[in-house]
Structure 1
Amino acid sequence: MTTATSARTMRAAIFEGPGRLVLGERPVPAIAAPDEVLIAVEACGVCGTDVHILADPPGHPAKAGCVLGHELVGRIAEVGPEALDVAVGDRVVVAPNLNCGGCDACKRGLLAHCERFTTIGIFRDGGMASHVVAPAHACHRISDALPARVAALVEPLSCVYNGIEQARLVPGETAVVLGAGAIGLMFAALLRAGGASRVVVVEPGELRREIALRIGASAALDPRAEGFAEALEAALGTAVGADVVVDAVGSQLPAAIGHAAPRGRVLLFGMDARAHGEVPQVEITRRELVVFGTYIGDHTFPATIRLLESGVVDLTPLISHWVGLDELPATLEAVRGDSVVKAVVDLARAA
């Protein structure tokens, strides 16, 4: 292990407080713990969480002064003396959500609910820079054949994979996905790959509806269009609703419940601390609905990597913007509109 890297500097995207992102110089980080590795970052995805962090008021907490970026792929440049099962030169993706392993939640296997939970790119420096330090156990090898812009999507796809597991989709069932941002599109792709007979995406943006069809949705509907209810019924092939409904926006609880079939499952994934959905409780009771939230994937990285490497799911159509770090502020502004579906930052340009 060496620490010579700390004498060098790198350009990084730094969160300085609500609404404040600065592109500034930082020392290249040095390995501080014996089980850590230094990663030369290839690419880092822009997440909706990043947008929420930078809102004013914030829709998601983060540590001021932190380098953002938790969807990253890179190559190991240095290893600590106790870093196991990794080597310099390994190409890896990083599971950014770190747990202590010793609290009650961790002992119960609820790693995402660790009492000392922290996240690379939110509460400690992340991947929107040329280098990042991470624990070796958080690193998962990934094929050199997978393009960096696609490999950077392992983290969000692993979260979606977790949601699909918890939804317990039965092949032949129907599904509705509310919202065709990157997460909604990933849900549509995995639901179809998992055997859903019909996957209907509900999205007002025309571009996103077009991508939904390319990625596997059987129909993509504009909820503002005249005759939407009839079109949804026709797309599902039934008037009773869908077996699985996903709110991939974070503010669509009433609509999600309205589109669910009796004994359907309503998966709430999109997350915004400012959203407060209200529904008549009797609707859930009378129709025997299961309403649940899913969060991050705490065990799904290996399966997600295998899925992408196999080519069963192709996320290339999602990636609308492949940008350099200097373009990140403008890209974040555009993300708030409809022109960006998924942006990935090319950190090799900043190395």
Structure 2
Amino acid sequence: MEEMETKGEFKVRSVGVCGTDVAMVKGSYPPRKDPLVLGHEFAVERDGALYTSEINLVDWTCKYCRRGMYTHCENRKALGIDVDGAMREYMDLPGYLLHEDRVGLRPEELSLTEPAAAVLRMVELIHPSPSDRVLVLGDGPVGIISAAVLEHYGFDVELNGHNPERMRVAENLGIPTTRSSTKYDVVVEATGSKALGEAMRYVRHMGKIALKSTHGLEVSLDVTHAVVNEVQLIGSRCGPFYLWDKAMHLIKELDLRRIVTTYPFSEYERAFQDVLNRKVVKAVLMI
């Protein structure tokens, strides 16, 4: 697998600032290439058509790829993490990563497809029961998208966050918010911080915790508590190809563009600072 050239056949139109990008800037999640062009949530254009893109460059030959688990390829390289990503004007992309927009989304909305597909993968893995009560910890983009998707599917969902402005965005999307100390069947940890202990306090016996934070930090775990109470910890990462069209339709149906704040690419420093200071839910750079 070769790294992409700085110029290519696709024009980058928008790129989201992800929590992983922020963690790499802060130094808690070391990039695997130095220097590195960040950006793995993006929209590109070619010949008038808009596309969004998966992030994993894979070899298709390892044992995971042969089993259909290509997002876990032993030799994968992730855009914006292992190789240069989308915070630039042009890039080359292999065809197997691309998903053409047939929903009529704007470029900034298409930048939400990667996190939305990852949320759908999480829902697939936790496989909640219809009667489950779900708590989402975290008022960032993954937390709000998780709560919106789960609520859309009919689950009894509440969102717990600490930022008043972000919580108002969630409430405007119709997401119930809470400060409750009740126990829940499923807890989604999407804070982007070391909040696993908080998730353990909220989950009921034999409940599930979905791990969605990629902050790169070490966290402590009361293993005895998890074992005695038979708590399941379920990690999830990228959404496989079959979830991307569904993600695009949900972005439109749930009007998730309301979580987006756009910035000209020249103001990338302000965008990163606003994310670091939690002034916005989702910053998207327009190129």
Alignment TM-score, normalising by the size of structure 2: 0.91
Structure 2: 5+ residue runs without aligned partners? none
Name whichever structure is richer in strand by fraction. 1
Q: Which position in structure 2 is the counterpart of 1:332?
A: 272
Contact 1:180/1:201 (CA < 8 Å) preserved in 2? yes
Deviation at 1:334, TM superposition (A): 2.3
Percent identity for Structure 1 against Structure 2: 26
Matched, 1:119 2:119: no
Q: Counterparts in 2 of 1:260-275, with a 5 A limit? A: 260-275=203-218
Cα shift readout 1:263-300 (whole Å, capped 9, x = no counterpart): 21111110122231222x23222322211211122332
Q: Counterparts in 2 of 1:83-162, with a 5 A limit? A: 88-143=47-102, 145-162=104-121
RMSD of aligned Cα (Å): 1.8
Contact 2:16/2:112 (CA < 8 Å) preserved in 1? yes
Within 1, Cα distance between the matches of 2:105 and 2:230? 43
Contact 1:91/1:141 (CA < 8 Å) preserved in 2? yes
Matched, 1:214 2:157: no
Within 2, Cα distance between the matches of 1:101 and 1:94? 17
Amino acid across the alignment from 1:255: E
User: Aligned to 2:35, which of 65, 68, 74?
Assistant: 65
Cα shift readout 1:170-223 (whole Å, capped 9, x = no counterpart): 2232111111111111111111012212x12111111122122222322233xx
| RCO higher in structure (CA 8 A, sep ≥6) | 2
User: Aligned to 2:196, which of 239, 245, 253?
Assistant: 253
Within 2, Cα distance between the matches of 1:40 and 1:50? 21
Cα shift readout 1:240-280 (whole Å, capped 9, x = no counterpart): x111101102411111111112221111110122231222x
**CA distance 1:172–1:322, shift in 2 (3 Å):** same
Deviation at 1:346, TM superposition (A): 0.7
Amino acid across the alignment from 2:239: G
Structure 1: 5+ residue runs without aligned partners? 1-26, 31-37, 77-87, 222-230, 234-240
Larger radius of gyration between Structure 1 and Structure 2: 1
Amino acid across the alignment from 1:283: H
Q: Which position in structure 1 is the counterpart of 2:235?
A: 293
**CA distance 1:60–1:170, shift in 2 (3 Å):** farther
**CA distance 1:60–1:193, shift in 2 (3 Å):** farther
**CA distance 1:144–1:42, shift in 2 (3 Å):** farther
Q: Counterparts in 2 of 1:196-235, with a 5 A limit? A: 196-197=155-156, 199-221=157-179, 231-233=180-182
Deviation at 1:142, TM superposition (A): 0.5
Contact 1:170/1:195 (CA < 8 Å) preserved in 2? no
Within 2, Cα distance between the matches of 1:283 and 1:124? 39
Amino acid across the alignment from 2:174: G
Matched, 1:42 2:17: no
Within 2, Cα distance between the matches of 1:147 and 1:210? 23
